[in-house]
Amino acid sequence: MTAQAQPRRDTAPLTVFSPAKINLYLRIVGKRPDGYHELETLMLPLDFGDEITLQPLDGELRLECDNPSLPTDDSNLALRAAKLLGEDCGGKRGAKIALTKRTPLAAGLGGGSSNAAAVLLGLNNLWGLDADDATLHRLAARLGSDVNFFLGGGAALCRGRGEQIEPAPCKLSASVLLVNPGFGISTKWAYESWAKAAAVSRPTTAPPEVSRLLRALAKDDLATVSQCLFNSLEAPSIRKFPVLELIKESMRNDGASGAMMSGSGATVFGLFADARAAESSAKKVREEFGPSMWTKVTRFVSTVHRQPETRALVK
């Protein structure tokens, strides 16, 4: 990437969809020498997520968010992604980054990583950089484990610490009910809790083979997909937060073919063959567990449309 790349001539804002994800499979293989964990995880993007609007701004990078609970300083991955791209391309570039936050925070839905990927894609366009996929993936790997996945825009099997991406054919038509209990789970705590438990005892049963899950996804075989759900981080989280298991049980009683915690939590998802059953289950969860329960019925998307769209300013 060179400093000679020219920004777009128009000043109309660009909007980029920033999808949420769920992990259908997350197996921790072990600890790496660099301190990260070696993973094997299968992630799918959803047609639900955040929206990011980018607008040129002379010499300044500014992040704004409609959720006051989300920091907008350098601890935010979206702002860090913007600064990293700016440093890599050379020159002093600016932008206003307006984040409309729809996903819960610290929820296991990949919100921060997805926002970072959306900013890389959007600013690459806004600043006229024409950075290739290899460059964007190199920068993504420096930001976080899931950012590379969100650059791809489709289902993928991810290995390493999450940066090694292998696209996965997915025809799954199930509706997905997301339930967040109103609290977050620290990713650091989730992995440390798994490590403590793993040091004391080994699992009594082997995880399902991810190859079986991949075949089921390609065939839209919901029953087999549900049988292959696996998350190494789920057990320690449920021990500390038993309500997660109760939410899973509630969804299964209402017709979910399978239910599991996504990522490091605390969001739990249920897979339903029928969207009306998923909506009905969402209503019952709110009635049973109270108004703190955030629910959303969504679905998988085989390919996320990530091309930034130009929008006229509304005054």
* Same domain, residue pair 216 and 201: yes
Last residue of a domain, one of 111, 138, 168: 168
* Same domain, residue pair 184 and 162: no
Expressed as residue numbers, the domain containing 115 is 14-168
Q: For the domain that residue 54 is a member of, what is the CATH number?
A: 3.30.230.10
Active-site residue, 146 included: yes
Note whether residue 314 is domain-resident. Answer: no
Q: Confirm if 143 and 15 have CB atoms less than 8 A apart.
A: no
Which residue in 101, 146, 248, 296 is the catalytic one?
Answer: 146
* Same domain, residue pair 106 and 208: no
Active-site residue, 21 included: yes
* Same domain, residue pair 97 and 25: yes
Dmax over Cα atoms in the chain, in whole Å? 61
Where the chain has pLDDT below 70, the residues are 1-11, 203-204, 304-315
Q: Give the chain's domain count.
A: 2
* Same domain, residue pair 144 and 239: no
Structure confidence by residue, pLDDT tens digits, 137-170 = 999 999 988 999 999 989 999 999 888 999 999 9
Q: Which residues of 101-112 are buried (b: 16+ CB within 10 A; e: fewer)?
A: bebbebbbbbbb
Whole-number Å distance between alpha carbons of 23 and 231 = 8
Which residue in 21, 101, 248, 296 is the catalytic one?
Answer: 21
- The pLDDT of residue 5 is 45
